[in-house]
Structure 1
Amino acid sequence: MNTAVLRPPEAAGIGRGLALALLAHGLLILALTYGLHWRSDSSPAFEAELWASVPQVAAPREEAPPEPEPAPAKPEPQAQQRAAEEEAAQQREAEIAIAKEKKRKEEKAREDALKLEREKAEKAEKAAKEKEAKAAKDKAAKEEQDRKKAQDAKDAKAAKEADAKREALRLENLRRIQGMAGGTPGSTGTAAQNAAPSAGWVGKVKGKIRPLIIYADDGGANPTAEVQVALAPDGRILGSKVLKASGDAEWDRAVLRAIEKAETLPRDTDGRVPPVLILNLRPRE
């Protein structure tokens, strides 16, 4: 490819401009040379000394007065007005910023005070609730303690009355047994013999009590529990107690629980029920 085709065309008049530039430089050089040599003088120089009769002080050299400093340019009225407006605007902005900061601090102080008041109120309410709950708990505990004491007293009284009743029945039974054994002086002994329970009645009583006994029999020992049962005339069981322990506390408790579950015992063949009954019960008979 021909690179001459891509070269831009030469500017017209470039030779004329170069010639003018050279001419101007030559004239400048001539002017400088003339300025350096126009005061040159080749005449001979003479020296002379002057003496005065009275010494005279040379007059001070005259110095040119200092040039006055230029006065500062006075700003134009519009520039002064703009500067004043800008200064006023800046001052207003500063005042607004100060007012906002002051308002923010006041609001924060109010919020902190409200928060502190709320925390105090919550703490006071919590303390009051805790105090109320503690008082209610103490009251409930005291009422439960009083109720338990009253129940214990009631149970103790009932147990004492039951013991007294059982003791009275025991004594009555003993008197009857003594009467059945020996009778009264001058009697024929028929009443004593007729008052004794029939031979099959004790078996009927054990037959009702034994199915109610819950006892884990390990097949080892065969303990005997001797218990006394107090009965009402209609056969109701009034109470029971162990006269002679079997040596197995679990068997003794099982026998007493079974008697309590029975509630009543069957009547004898003649329709009577002795007031006191003594039973000997074993796990295996």
Structure 2
Amino acid sequence: MKICSDYSFEANLLKVHLNKATDLPAMDIGGTSDPYVKLFFLPDKKRRLTTKVHRKTLNPVFDERFDLPLLYKDIAQKTLVFGIYDYDRFGKHDSIGSVEIPLSTIDLGAPFLGSKPIKSLTQKTLGDICFSLRYVPTSGKMTVGILEAKNLKKMDAYGLSDPYVKIYLNRNGKRLKKKKTSIKKNTLTPYYNESFAFEVSQEIIQSVELVIKVVDHDQVGSNDPIGKVVLSKNAEGQALKHWTGMINVPRRPVVLWHTLEVCRC
């Protein structure tokens, strides 16, 4: 990001010229972004100034000037932040990244001109899903409660999805059972609260695999997978924690959030 700045000791103003940014990541499914920038000081964040939104570009030329009130005695404690966001007409604006300049690191006695790398460029996550697992050993019944999902990947051209959830019970590479939830239209934060029961005896419970897959329904073409969670005794991280919790605390539902992983299928 190309930035110019100059401090006016007489007016107690930091004058900033935000020139342009280059090679931003694509945040929309069309391969572009709608970037804009918020300017503010850390640690207070009290006053935020915002650029115009630049449509469908990864190389926005802002060419905007801002006057930020700043007392000389506060300079050493302030960090100037340029927060870069992707404008979303239908939902929450996504963070692309930021440039942070501790003012103690630059000479405000002379104009500053330079390019700063954008840090923490974010890749869009596939989303998160919350579900419960309950296992009753005596009856060999495993209940999966699909509760809700959030921040799902946008799969439709207008920035939303039509998500539903498929639940697979597999063993030794073979599918034993398959069930699915209802479809929730035009949302990235679907609420389901739907339960599904599977018969899984104690003899095979440690040899089965449970797959929770979120899918975008398409009336015209094929349905597109958004992401999945795979649980078993061989899982890792949150998935293993959830599976182990279900086994170790029988008869009680165990509820956890999971971050969706890429479906390679």
Shorter chain as normaliser: what TM range?
under 0.3
Higher strand share: 2
**TM-score, normalized by length of structure 1?**
0.17
Higher helix share: 1
Larger Rg: 1
Higher RCO (C-alpha under 8 Å, 6+ residues apart)? 2
